[in-house]
Amino acid sequence: MTTVNITVNGQQYSHEVEPRLLLVHYLRDVLGMTGTHVGCDTSQCGACTVHIDGVAVKSCTVLAVQADGSRITTIEGLATDGQLHPLQEGFWEKHGLQCGFCTPGMIMSAADLLKRNPNPSEEEIRLGLEGNICRCTGYHNIVRAVQYAAEKMKVNA
């Protein structure tokens, strides 16, 4: 067992964990933050995407011990002061989700994408979401949701 100190959505946690515990399982099973999902076991689907120190990472490919000392944001921590993030709003406005299972990871990846490229073309959005699979929407409305958020963030900026 190893002790980890991890800040999740602004709150600090300290736990004894097995060295092999995946970060995604730490978030889901230890902290009970089940918004981060597990859709595969080969790092393909992106449902588990969170931000570690501000960068989108697939939390199924990281051990909890590797995240020791880092600041993590999950989907539960994306809205600020009860205000939806423009991407959350965009996914709602543009029907960017159906079953919702890919959605947290999609939104976290898209947030990273927009940070790096606030003005992405359709092509760049599609490439930027390369690491995230959605089986329901055919991506059409996910692209529109990201475009909506990009627009909105431009106005707000």
Partner 1 sequence: MATQMIGASIKRVEDPRFITGKGLYTDDIQLPGMTYAVFVRSPHAHAKINSLNISAAKAMPGVTAIYTGEDMKKAGIGGPICGWSLPGLKLPAHPPMAVDRVRYVGEPIAVVLASDPYTAQDAAEAVEVDYDPLPAVADPKQAHGGPTIHDEAPDNIAFDWSIGDQAKTDAAFASAHKTVRLDLVNNRLIPNALEPRAAIARVEPTGDITLWLTSQNPHIHRLLMAAFMLNIPEQKFRVIAPDVGGGFGSKIFVYAEEVVMVWAAMQSKRPVKWTSTRRESYIADAHGRDHVTEAEMAFDADGHITGLRVKTWAGMGAYLSTFATAVPTYLYGTLLSGQYPIPAIYCNTLGVFTNTVMVDAYRGAGRPEATYVVERLVDLGAYELGLDPAEIRRRNLIPPDQFPFQTQVALQYDSGNYAATLDKALEKLGYGDLRAEQEAARQQGRYIGIGFSTAIEACGLAPSAVVGSLGAGAGQWESALVRVHPTGKISVQTGSHSHGQGHETTFAQIVADGLGVPLEDVLIQHGDTAQSPFGYGTYGSRSAAVGGSAIAVSVKKLQDKIKRIAAHLLEAAPEDIDYAEGKATVRGAPERFKTFGEVALQAYLAHNYPTDIEPGLEATTFFDPTNFTFPYCVHIAVVEVDGGTGQVEVKRYIAVDDVGNIINPMIVAGQIHGGVAQGIGQALYESAVYDENGQLVTGSMMDYAVPKARYIPMIETDQTITPAPQNPLGVKGVGEIGAIASPAAIANAVVDALKHLGVTHIDMPITVQKVYAAIHADA
120 touching partner 1, by CB under 8 A = no
- Residue from 2, 44, 61, 117 touching partner 1 (CB under 8 A): that is 44
Distance CA 152, CA 69 (A): 33
**Binds 53: which of partner 1, ligand FES, none (CB < 5-8 Å by kind):** none
Rounded distance between C-alpha atoms, residue 36 and residue 58, angstroms: 10
Nearer to ligand FES, 102 or 146 (CB): 102
Selected from 111, 125, 149, 150, the binder of partner 1 by CB under 8 A is 125
Q: Is 129 near ligand FES (CB under 6 A)? A: no
Rounded Cα distance between 14 and 130, Å, is 33
Contact region for partner 1 (CB under 8 A) — 62-70, 71-79, 112-120, 149-157? 71-79
Residue 98 lies near ligand FES (rule: CB under 6 A): yes
In angstroms, give the least distance from the CB of 89 to partner 1.
8
Note the residues at the interface with partner 1 (CB under 8 A). 18, 20-21, 28-29, 32-42, 44-45, 47, 74-76, 78-79, 84, 88, 91-93, 95, 97-104, 107, 122-123, 125-127, 129-130, 132-143
